[in-house]
Amino acid sequence: MKIDFTALPTYDGKIQVSFDGGQSFKDYNVSDVRESGISLEDSQDYEKIKIQGPANLLQNLNVISKIGARSDDDLLPEDITGIVLKDFKVRFDKSLLQKYPKLTSVTIPEGVTTIGNGAFKDCSSLTSITIPEGVTSISYAVFENCSSLTSITIPDSVTAIGGNAFRGCTSLTSINIPDSITFIGDSAFLGCSSLTSITIPEGVTTIGNSAFWRCTGLTSINIPDSITSIDAFAFYNCSSLTDVTIPNNVTSIGYTAFAGCSSLISINIPNNVTSIGGSAFANCKKLTSITIPNSVTSISSHAFYNCSNLTNITIPASVTLIDDNTCNSCSKLKTINYEGTEEQWNAISKGDNWNKGCPSDMVINYNYQG
């Protein structure tokens, strides 16, 4: 059995291989192993093999992704479980480790400033990774579908978390997001079903589309005052989330932003919100009451669809549109507290089936003052 290095480029230097999980490394001349490979004893524990080498061998996938097998007796890349990279100058390149389903640990060296798109995508056995100070961004889909990753610490040098960065990290229970972060991309934590709490740092202004979609274990989240918008699907199907405080600077709540948050008991909508997107709170089945601030002028379609325990809503006189199916299937909604007059209420444009499925004896309290 052997490791096949025929894919290595011509290089007058060395590569290091460890057979004990990285405790010690043995040097090999590249010119030698390119021709003969490295022979292995049948008793060798291949689960502990690690490989390291200079950046100009590794950075363009010239080593790790191309250590191939030419016969059934050769060691396949999929058998390698740990890799230590060294001497990278700037960038840890895209998809470098995607072909290693058994990889459990990676150490990224000092000097790397960017982790490229999809660098660790689909490394489903990866449980730990060390990100050094100096990395400034975590790019698109870097850890997507790393389903065994349980925790990660992001250094203070990082300012941005790209879209899909941790999507599908179903074992991730905790993550430390430093105060240096100013941007969290779309779907960044989508499907992180084991994540129970998260604090978004001051400086982030937008919670992107689907950022925490289907984080079904999430029970609490701290949203900072710097946030001005909560985009579509941001907390969609966060079925364990019990309460949310939306900060005062938020002006818009996107389409389906909190839909399917079936454990949500209460939510505070601040006075600066001017628009509530369609289906924003649909299927929030434990929500019992909600107050819409007087900054809102329209309530979009299906906004409170199937909120089956909702008993009362307070609507300000500023609202001029209640769209289609807004309160459809709110079977316990017996009271609408309207802050305007009956004449103003009758002047509101109401969409089809806006109150379908509501109790027939639902009461509208006009001139409500709280």
What does the pLDDT look like over 233-287, one tens digit per residue?
999 999 999 988 899 999 999 999 999 999 999 888 999 999 899 999 999 999 9
Digit-coded pLDDT (tens) for 18-73? 777 667 788 888 778 777 777 766 555 555 566 666 544 543 323 333 232 223 33
d(CA 278, CA 39): 63
Beta partners for 105?
82, 128
What is the pLDDT, as a whole number, of residue 32? 80
pLDDT at position 58 is: 43
Q: DSSP characters for 51-69? A: EE--HHHHTTSSSGGG---
Instruction: Kindly report, residue by residue over 145-202, the tens digit of the pLDDT.
Output: 999 999 888 999 999 999 999 999 999 998 889 999 999 999 999 999 999 989 999 9
Q: Three-class SS of residue 338? A: strand
Give the separation between CA 228 and CA 207, rounded to whole angstroms: 9
pLDDT of residue 17: 76
Q: In this structure, what token pair is assigned to residue 88?
A: 């990278």
pTM of the complete model: 0.76
SS3 346: helix
Average pLDDT of the residues of the chain: 82
Q: What span, in angstroms and rounded, lies between the C-alpha atoms of 195 and 26?
A: 40
Domain boundaries, the chain: 1-76
